[in-house]
Amino acid sequence: MCARIRGPFEYNNKEEFKEKLLEWIGDVFYDILPEYGYEVREEQIYTAFQSADAFCNNNIHLAEAGLGTGKTFAYLLTAFAYARFSGKPVVIACASTALQEQLAGSEGDIAILSKLLELEIDARMAKDPHQYICDAKVNDTTDEVSTMSDEVNEWINKTNRGERSEIPSMPDRVWKWIGWDESMACDICSSRGFCKLVKAKEHYWQTKDLIIVDHEVFFNDLWTRDERIANGQLPILPSYSAVIFDEGHKILLPAAMQAGEHINQEEMEHMIDAIEEIQGARDSFLSSAISMEHAFHEFFTNLNWHLIKDDCSKRLSIRISDDLLKTANAFKKTLNHLLMDFQIEQELYMESLSANQIQAYEGQIERATIALEQFCRNKGVDIISWVDGGDGSFWVVPRNLSELLNKKLYQKEIPVVFTSATLSNEGDFDYFIRTIGLKNVTKSTVGSPFDLENQVVVYMNPSSNCKKDDLNHKIETLVSLLNQNGGRALVLTNSMEEVRMIRKGLGKYKLPFEILWEDKGERGFLVRTFRQEETSVLIGSNFWEGVDVPGEALTLLIVWQLPFPTRDPIIEVQRKEARQQGLDVAKTVDYPEMGLKLKQGCGRLIRTQNDQGAIIILDHVIGTRWESVVMGALPAGAKIRTIGEVNFN
Ligand code: SF4
């Protein structure tokens, strides 16, 4: 018989659990944490009570909490107590691996809370499988071993869990040789049951309290769970009693991508090369491979003609035509042929390809076939498709994500909490609720506990300056602002095209500080340099979120252009649906989307209660239709001035 797991307090029934939970939360925030120097923050306590209430009533809850609220501690207390109460772990889904570490790493928030409250919180990370070493790949790297550093070789020999985070200096080039990827067919691997990835899964399956995942892992489990169980396989995650989405505003894209399929051109080319080099393959098989290769190139060439070019979007929409569907269909047929030939004559290829490779190629062909099948069905009306602006992958994802979420998650009747600093436009959650198809939800919103009135001044471009809205004038204003502030600025643009325009414009000026350009370095490196080089200026379209630079290195935030949404295919679908419902597309999609992104961007400036700074919006706001949306996205209480009044001295 299992020993009873001690919870943070005693109770006899569900009613008493709720009562005691609220009492305990009050004790922790009003008495225990202040003893260790933590401030009493009413915003944090309110958020904690709201989350507790949602858990106890099985609600879906939207908990918006401004920067500095301490929302992580606020939801962790309830998550831990509820896991003990329900006897099943609670899942916390974060937006990235780095945030998983921040929460559950050895010095993360859970470890700190555990220590302060003298509780043994059992929290384990279920990371993206790409973050783990694959023993089968390591065994195949004999040629590459000599080129790996001693540090990497030593780590490979001694690591128990094989997590990439254990060795931060690992180059991407080396990780490609030894880290797990989709081409590995675990189902038929002889190391299955013994390898580190499998052990990692066994480890997090045994957690008692919390499983910390990223959004991708969570949705991969959610969409495949029923099928895996029906096939007698273990799902990715064990059974859980509740879900908390940290950075909940970011779930739509990972949810869509995990529910969809894609064709990566580079991987397809590798597979074609490998197949065509098979020794002793029959002519009919090679002819199937060659036909597939032709159809593949024809499809992607035609696809390229059908892309809606947009410099501002990372995903390019596709104009679906009969001609494109015809080439997609032809490509699909050649894939089907090749797959049949592959399966019938598998033994012939065993000498040239490992069983693992054969299985991986079959999987790749099957996934590509599914993507094309969904694309062609009903002329693409049931799907959203795009081409990735970075690696050129072709993506097909279901259009009915809200229905899927409803069926697989909301109807489970378990508590689900979405937390973020940006879920609403001035307390109006409608846009977020609509995008992810929520129906009955409870909501809470609290602002930042910082003294924003005295920490931030916002300067606007008055509409009377419209006639001066030319690039030269904007560049002159930018130079003047940067000089007055001595650099120390983050300039947010809406596209890489704007970044290039600014670089060209600044070319004739000699600025006495370093400029860090988004396209001239890896994101993490740029943000670290920006933090360390106090007078540097960071310019880019990709820094509206995830830049945390407290102190003197960031005292000026310049919005070069308001972040109106692009022609991103996911946004386009929302626009289309709004139009079909007779709604004003700008008001129901574009303005709220812009408002949420602007709110995120403004949140980069003040990171602690000691920070001070200015936000400058160079785009026009005053007198526009979106003025109130912009005002609602600015730090609450901040003083508003016109750009002419700027005086940083
Ligand atoms: S089971 Fe999968 S991850 Fe483990 S060694 Fe085999 S292929 Fe690699």
Q: Show the tokens assigned to 436.
A: 């992810």
Section 50-79 average pLDDT: 95
Instruction: Please check the confidence at residue 220 and state whether its pLDDT lies above 60.
Output: yes
Give the Å distance between the CA of 181 and the centre of ligand 1.
10
Mutate to test the pocket of ligand 1, among 197, 201, 234 (most ligand atoms within 8 A of CB): 197
φ/ψ (deg, to 5) at 211: -115, 125
Instruction: Please check the confidence at residue 539 and state whether its pLDDT lies above 90.
Output: yes
DSSP 3-state assignment of 242? strand
Residue 127 in contact with residue 197, Cβ under 8 Å? no
Binding site membership of 195 for ligand 1 (Cβ less than 6 Å): yes
Q: Show the tokens assigned to 483.
A: 């000089």
Give the Å distance between the CA of 231 and the centre of ligand 1.
20
Residue 6's pLDDT is: 59
Give the Å distance between the CA of 144 and the centre of ligand 1.
19
Binding site membership of 138 for ligand 1 (Cβ less than 6 Å): no
Q: What is the pLDDT of residues 222-248, one digit of tens each?
A: 999 999 999 999 999 999 999 999 999
Q: What is the DSSP letter of 69?
A: S
Residue 449 in contact with residue 47, Cβ under 8 Å? no
Residue 317 in contact with residue 567, Cβ under 8 Å? yes
Q: Show the tokens assigned to 230.
A: 């029906």
Residue 432 in contact with residue 424, Cβ under 8 Å? yes
Instruction: Please check the confidence at residue 303 and state whether its pLDDT lies above 50.
Output: yes
Section 26-45 average pLDDT: 95
Binding site membership of 133 for ligand 1 (Cβ less than 6 Å): no
Q: Which atom in ligand 1 lies closest to the alpha carbon of residue 189?
A: 6
Residue 58's pLDDT is: 95
Q: What is the pLDDT of residues 251-288, one digit of tens each?
A: 999 999 999 999 999 989 988 988 888 777 778 888 89
Q: What is the pLDDT of residues 287-302, one digit of tens each?
A: 899 999 999 999 999 9
Residue 355's pLDDT is: 74
Residue 212 in contact with residue 125, Cβ under 8 Å? yes
Instruction: Please check the confidence at residue 402 and state whether its pLDDT lies above 80.
Output: yes
Binding site membership of 192 for ligand 1 (Cβ less than 6 Å): yes
Mutate to test the pocket of ligand 1, among 131, 181, 189 (most ligand atoms within 8 A of CB): 189
Return the number of other C-beta atoms located less than 10 Å from residue 102's C-beta. Answer: 17
Q: Which domains does the chain have, with CATH numbers?
A: 43-122+207-261+396-448 (3.40.50.300), 265-392 (1.20.1440), 452-645 (3.40.50.300)
Name the pTM for this structure. Answer: 0.90
Instruction: Please check the confidence at residue 36 and state whether its pLDDT lies above 70.
Output: yes
Q: What is the pLDDT of residues 480-536, one digit of tens each?
A: 999 999 999 999 999 999 999 999 999 999 999 999 999 888 888 899 999 999 999
Residue 395 in contact with residue 388, Cβ under 8 Å? yes
Q: How far apart are the first and last CA of the chain?
A: 71
Question: Which residue lies with its CA nearest to atom 2 of ligand 1?
Answer: 186
Q: Which atom in ligand 1 lies closest to the alpha carbon of residue 135?
A: 5
Give the Å distance between the CA of 351 and the centre of ligand 1.
21
63 Cβ contact partners less than 8 Å away, ≥ 6 residues apart: 47, 50, 51, 54, 71, 74, 75, 417, 418, 419, 423, 443, 444
Residue 145's pLDDT is: 65
* Separation of alpha carbons 59 and 440, rounded Å: 8
Residue 469's pLDDT is: 57
Would you place residue 1 in the very low, low, confident or very high pLDDT band (cuts 50, 70, 90)?
A: very low
Residue 71's pLDDT is: 93
Residue 363 in contact with residue 188, Cβ under 8 Å? no
Binding site membership of 191 for ligand 1 (Cβ less than 6 Å): yes
* Separation of alpha carbons 630 and 621, rounded Å: 7
Return the number of other C-beta atoms located less than 10 Å from residue 166's C-beta. Answer: 13
Give the Å distance between the CA of 264 and the centre of ligand 1.
22
Instruction: Please check the confidence at residue 431 and state whether its pLDDT lies above 80.
Output: yes
Q: What is the DSSP letter of 553?
A: T
Residue 84's pLDDT is: 96
Residue 351's pLDDT is: 67
SS (H, E, C) 437-477: CCCCCEEEEECCCCCHHHHEEEEEECHHHHHHCCHHHHHHH
Binding site membership of 348 for ligand 1 (Cβ less than 6 Å): no
Average pLDDT, the chain: 91
Beta bridge partners of 263: 394
* Separation of alpha carbons 428 and 431, rounded Å: 8
Residue 379's pLDDT is: 85
573 Cβ contact partners less than 8 Å away, ≥ 6 residues apart: 384, 399
Instruction: Please check the confidence at residue 466 and state whether its pLDDT lies above 60.
Output: no
Instruction: Please check the confidence at residue 2 and state whether its pLDDT lies above 50.
Output: no
Of all residues in the chain, the percent with pLDDT exceeding 90 is: 69
Q: What is the pLDDT of residues 323-370, one digit of tens each?
A: 999 999 999 999 999 998 877 776 666 666 777 778 888 889 999 999
Q: What is the pLDDT of residues 112-140, one digit of tens each?
A: 999 999 999 999 999 999 999 999 888 87
Give the Å distance between the CA of 130 and the centre of ligand 1.
11
Give the Å distance between the CA of 132 and the centre of ligand 1.
10
Instruction: Please check the confidence at residue 3 and state whether its pLDDT lies above 60.
Output: no
Residue 560's pLDDT is: 96
Give the Å distance between the CA of 298 and the centre of ligand 1.
35
Residue 474 in contact with residue 491, Cβ under 8 Å? no
Q: Which atom in ligand 1 lies closest to the alpha carbon of residue 129?
A: 3
Residue 140's pLDDT is: 78
Q: Which atom in ligand 1 lies closest to the alpha carbon of residue 136?
A: 5
* Separation of alpha carbons 28 and 117, rounded Å: 8
φ/ψ (deg, to 5) at 70: 85, 45
| One-letter amino acid for residue 536 of the chain | S
Binding site membership of 132 for ligand 1 (Cβ less than 6 Å): no
Mutate to test the pocket of ligand 1, among 137, 138, 192 (most ligand atoms within 8 A of CB): 192
Section 165-186 average pLDDT: 84
Q: What is the pLDDT of residues 141-152, one digit of tens each?
A: 766 666 778 888
